[in-house]
Amino acid sequence: MKKISDLLPRTSRKRILSQSLFFGAIATVSVISNAFSLSSKAYGQTLPPIVNNTEINSYAQAVLAMEPARQNAFEEIKKLIGNGEIPKIVCNDSNSINGLPRKAQDIAVDYCSRSQKIVQDNGLSIAQFNKITIELQNNDILKQQVYNTLLRLQKSPDSP
């Protein structure tokens, strides 16, 4: 039985070997340079925080200030609806408010208006407040920061 190397002429074997070494060297250099370029990018890039400490504090203060009004509005709407399930009310979703009975709509709109003022009085735009609210759903670190801030604010005597 003949070897594969015996079937190829000597010059073809040299050419295949040199081509394999050449392509192997290119692949190795490519992998090494890629590794260095990726690692240098990773060290050089630090993503800015999505929310800074001032925004977290403002957000927590707004939430604390809104909570009594939210509970009051919820109780009033609950009395109007009776034993029925109270639908989720989202201030920037008119459909969630339009599905309520007329008096409950008035209560919800009043609550949303007061909440908007509270947010702005605490130094945030509605867009910032909503951005933080959405980010809280997926960011456990931010969730913990807001939670800790809420606890700190509730313990301090001058909390809202």
Are the C-beta atoms of 74 and 86 separated by less than 8 Å?
yes
Per-domain residue ranges of the chain: 4-44, 53-155
Q: Which residues of 74-93 are buried (b: 16+ CB within 10 A; e: fewer)?
A: eebbeebeeeeeeeebebee
Give residue 126's Cα distance to chain centre.
Answer: 17
Query: Which residues neighbour 124 within 8 Å (Cβ) at sequence distance 6 or greater?
Result: 55, 58, 59, 62, 132
Structure tokens at 112: 């949303």
Residue ranges, the chain, pLDDT below 50: 17-47, 159
Q: Residue 93: what pLDDT?
A: 86
Structure tokens at 130: 């909503």
Q: Residue 41: what pLDDT?
A: 44
Radius of gyration of the chain from its Cα atoms, rounded to whole angstroms: 32
Rounded to two decimals, the pTM is 0.65
